[in-house]
Structure 1
Amino acid sequence: MTTRPGGRSARVRAAVLAATYAELAERGYLGMTVENVADRAGVHKTTVYRRWATIDILIADALDSSRDTEWPAPDTGSIEGDLIAVADEIVTVFADPARRAVPEAVVTAALHSSRARQSKKDFYAARHAQAAVVVARAVQRGELPPDTDAVELIRLTCAPLYYRIFITGEPVDHATAERSARAALAAARAGLVPAQHP
């Protein structure tokens, strides 16, 4: 039987994935169950088990579904302001217990599931590419060397924050975000973040 695009199957998937995010925010990775997701989505648990089977697959599919969502890159008028804004968004997310529950669950799921690990990799690759527009604009304005690796500069901006959040458990705040962004920017201005050519 052919499933009609936008039909019941699409509605069920949308409801289940929305419920997955809601359960992650409320219960976290360890508190999630397929049954709770099904209840919240208003579908029978066998429907969820048949299509997704495990929590890790649910999380991976939810991440896949949001990967191509348009993310508005900051546009402050300067690369310094833009990179600080990118870093500040991470601080804002992880300062909110409900919002931080989702990325924390994604990282945990990726440790247990190759499917979730690939979805996480694809999600962050897409986000980095979207954020890289701020670097491309800066190169056009003459703020950075022409061969600056845009995605790598975004990685360098964000990496110290994720290190504190997920590895050392140290707090992050605006000052931390600003320092991280300015250190990455100093490296780029010094020509230390060139694009790698094969």
Structure 2
Amino acid sequence: MTSDLLRVALEQHTHAELLALERRVLTLLQFRLTSADPAFFLNYFLHLTCNSHDQLVVECCWLLLETGLVETSLLHTRPSLMAAAALYGSLRVMHGTLAASVLPAVIPNYFRLEERTVLATTTTLLEALSAVARRTPHSPTEGDGSPSWGSALSQHPRLAPDNLLLLVQQLRTRLAHLSRAT
């Protein structure tokens, strides 16, 4: 590997110089080379809420996370918030208000996930999913490039665009209520 890097650098540096540069970069990064992505937090939150074996909830979470990847307004959203919003949205879609209401109670406080922020992010995810659902036929052909939307989950009536938009309106009403309360 080092020899490949030296060759790419047109042999401008010695092996020792390359190692010194690597050490400097690692020091500047404080040796933090990985970061947790939404999947890490999602798995943890699914476990905390005892939903890791609910296949519909799990698949819907992944669908929402995938949808969020292309939503530009969510590009700088914390991974823990994305995961919480995907889980909240999934629980609301698949099991209703009561199931989703437990989420704030079980996620530890150190995640600093306020209900308002989770609801706002969930709303954005559900709006984006509704837009995808409107553009994508409910019975995609094999190899259409959208494996998630081609799954059995895409056929679920709760994921129909109109149902998603109704849920978005409910979340907006809840957000307005939270705004007036503060």
Common fold: TM-score over 0.5: no
Q: Which has the higher contact order (CA 8 A, sep 6+)?
A: 1
Q: Which has the larger radius of gyration?
A: 2
